[in-house]
A = this chain, B = another copy of it.
């Protein structure tokens, strides 16, 4: 039997178990679901034990983290660390769901449920593939560690803490984050990196209460005016961030790096999706370079005075902005936070009060080289399963826990998965096709086979 035949012969039981997994409303961000989160973890722990793996449960802030292991390959073999999560996003607006989010429903080849794609689906096909590989071949060709956390959707706060004390348990050669996706089902895609992130809130404050724009107009420095003047200084006319030192640690990608990535920007797809052409790049920078290799400084929120219907002749006492930076590798979040803070302080009028709050959860960016053995191994397994060349891309977004995981595990990292942009993750009617599930399963199974081939080569 090949992997596909194995899957098809087990299919009914696999989806029965998957539906049970999906029925737990494991919304970790909402404390009223705490018991459900814990029940979900308990069920998952028992399921993994039945797969023949050992499981450790780490409790931090009441949300269990599971580490499933099979280390029987022995110290001379490679170690693969996998990562997924069993917590899910909240479900509102509930009324937009066709069937209830925690009553999984199979329609037209799609499984509808919160978490069906993100990330219970990907977590579960990975587990099933590992179990069935062991059953079929008798053992794993590598040491396997599968870390499954319960707070990904709420900032991985517990896991961040655990990583400091559990480094040894997580040591690995390769780290695969199974929480990513591909553009289309016939187009396997590998994300070789993501940008980092840093977020902050700033306030400009004058006096002790909102003012009347007649009584104080011409007397007060309007905090709204001071704010726009301050924020307008953040960028040069050419689109570059004007903060001294901001780009100091930005390294241009090498020709080799570019050559190994699929750097084609699909202008038509972008415009169809968003309704405008990309014009937010620095002068002379193409869209792919801008989104993958360059950091940004965005104003994600502006608020001051009255923004509702009609008009209010107010001079606000407080004007607020939310800023974020997407960071590229080697830009240290702490250093950038300091540079931005210094710049804001330097350009705020002395008579206004400036308050800056750097939010927790900042993370650096990372990118791996396209020619690493891990990339080649994973590409190969995708291509074997999908019979199509595997695209290599970078993410403009961020997965803040990944750099911490990389550092703790000392491992080479990749983001993989078979989620599609059309899966409605984080939205009503989230779904995952049975085909995506099977393809994910087959890719993991194939990857383990490739490790086996590699191990046998090394032996001979």
Contact = CB atoms under 8 A, between A and B. Distances in A.
Interface stretch (A13-21, A45-53, A126-134, A290-298): A290-298
Contact of A207 (B275, B282, B290, B319): B275
Contact of A279 (B221, B294, B300, B424): B221
A228 B231 contact: yes
A278 B220 contact: yes
A90 interface: yes
Given A220-B274, A301-B308, 9 more contacts: A89-B312, A207-B274, A213-B326, A214-B397, A216-B291, A217-B397, A222-B280, A224-B299, A302-B307
A216 B396 contact: yes
The interface centre, meaning the residue of A213, A221, A282, A287 with most chain B CB atoms within 10 A of its CB, is A213
Interface string A310-345: 111111100110101010000000000000000000
Contacts of A397: 212-215, 217, 313
A214 B274 contact: no
Given A229-B235, A300-B314, A302-B228, A270 B219 contact: yes
Contact of A215 (B208, B315, B396): B396
Contacts of A307: 301-303, 320, 322
Nearest to A294: B218
A349 interface: yes
Interface string A230-267: 01111100000000000000000000000000000000
29 contacts: A90-B306, A207-B274, A207-B275, A212-B397, A212-B425, A212-B427, A213-B300, A213-B324, A217-B397, A219-B280, A219-B291, A219-B396, A221-B280, A224-B298, A225-B234, A231-B232, A276-B351, A298-B315, A300-B305, A302-B305, A302-B319, A303-B303, A303-B307, A306-B322, A307-B320, A312-B322, A313-B397, A313-B398, A313-B426
A396 to B, nearest CB: 5
Nearest to A295: B218
A65 to B, nearest CB: 19
A443 B90 CA distance: 59
A231 B210 CA distance: 20
A30 B301 contact: no
Given A211-B274, A221-B280, A280-B222, A199 B396 contact: no
Contacts of A306: 90, 92, 300-301, 322
A428 interface: yes
Q: Chain A contact residues: over half helix, strand or loop, or mixed?
A: loop
A458 interface: no
A73 B276 CA distance: 70
Given A215-B397, A280-B222, A397-B214, A324 B300 contact: no
A308 B301 CA distance: 9
B224 A301 contact: yes
Contact of A276 (B220, B290, B424): B220
A426 B227 contact: no
A55 interface: no
